[in-house]
């Protein structure tokens, strides 16, 4: 079940907000410009479905997100514990960074934590199958799917160059490990 915990960025162990209610998650994240939605999708896949099959099945949803004119692109990120780059990708995603465009993700399967650092707060959004999250451009954040990641997510970009991170060099993500 999706969740949201909010912390003061100087007090990692004490949640100011701790909810599993999708409406409350969406309302709280909206105050910082983050879009959060639960999609009830009739689309299901086998564990080994090819990225092209997943993209084709979600094309109607993607067209609405990207725009009927096709401005932007989408890809599929599949992570499993056996992925040869699982550890190195996790390390990269755990470093606080920002993007010059919105970061839009839809979780087809599995889960992961988008952890946002806005002003003096940390927003740990647990996203699971059926969740859409859109993090505004230039929002400091990191992502963690755990030591044994097992998820499939659609990534939507307006910039054709795809995922480009600008790392902050801050180590705050080490103070807020996901649990």
pLDDT at 95 over 80: yes
The per-residue pLDDT for 21 is: 98
Is the whole-model pTM more than 0.85?
yes
Q: Which domain holds residue 93?
A: 3-173
Q: How far apart are CA 137 and CA 157, in angstroms?
A: 11
Report, as an integer, the average pLDDT of 64-71: 64
Name the pLDDT band for 18 (thresholds 50, 70, 90).
very high
Cβ–Cβ under 8 Å, residues 72 and 151: no
The reply to whether 159 falls in a domain is yes
Name the pLDDT band for 46 (thresholds 50, 70, 90).
confident
Domains held by the chain: number = 1
The per-residue pLDDT for 66 is: 76
The reply to whether 90 falls in a domain is yes
The per-residue pLDDT for 160 is: 62
pLDDT in tens, 112-149: 999 999 999 999 999 999 999 999 999 999 999 999 99
Q: Which two tokens stand for residue 44?
A: 């299901």
The reply to whether 179 falls in a domain is no
Residue 98 belongs to domain with CATH number: 2.60.120.10
For the ranges 24-28, 101-105, 137-141, 157-161, the lowest mean pLDDT is seen at: 157-161
The per-residue pLDDT for 39 is: 87
118, 109, 100, 125: which is closest to 26 by C-alpha? 125
Q: How many residues does the chain have?
A: 179
In degrees, rounded to 5, the angle at the alpha carbon of residue 117 between the alpha carbons of residues 170 and 171 is 20
The reply to whether 123 falls in a domain is yes
Q: How far apart are CA 80 and CA 65, in angstroms?
A: 26
Output the average pLDDT for the chain: 90
Cβ–Cβ under 8 Å, residues 144 and 153: no
The per-residue pLDDT for 137 is: 92
The reply to whether 74 falls in a domain is yes
């Amino acid at each position: 079940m999706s969740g949201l915990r909010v912390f003061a960025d100087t007090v990692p162990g004490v949640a100011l907000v701790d909810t599993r209610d999708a409406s409350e998650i969406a309302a709280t994240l909206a105050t910082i410009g983050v879009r959060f939605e639960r999609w009830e999708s009739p689309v299901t896949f086998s564990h080994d479905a090819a990225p092209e099959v997943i993209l084709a099945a979600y094309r109607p949803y993607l067209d609405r997100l990207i725009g009927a004119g096709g401005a932007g692109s989408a890809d599929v990120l599949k992570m499993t514990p056996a992925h040869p780059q699982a550890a190195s990708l996790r390390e990269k995603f755990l470093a606080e960074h920002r993007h010059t465009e919105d970061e839009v993700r839809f979780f087809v399967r599995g889960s992961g934590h988008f952890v946002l650092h806005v002003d003096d707060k940390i927003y740990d959004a647990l996203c699971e199958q059926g969740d859409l999250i859109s993090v505004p451009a230039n929002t400091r954040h990191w992502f963690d799917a755990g030591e044994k990641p097992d998820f499939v997510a659609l990534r939507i970009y307006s910039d054709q160059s795809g995922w480009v991170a600008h790392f902050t060099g801050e180590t705050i993500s080490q103070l807020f490990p996901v649990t």
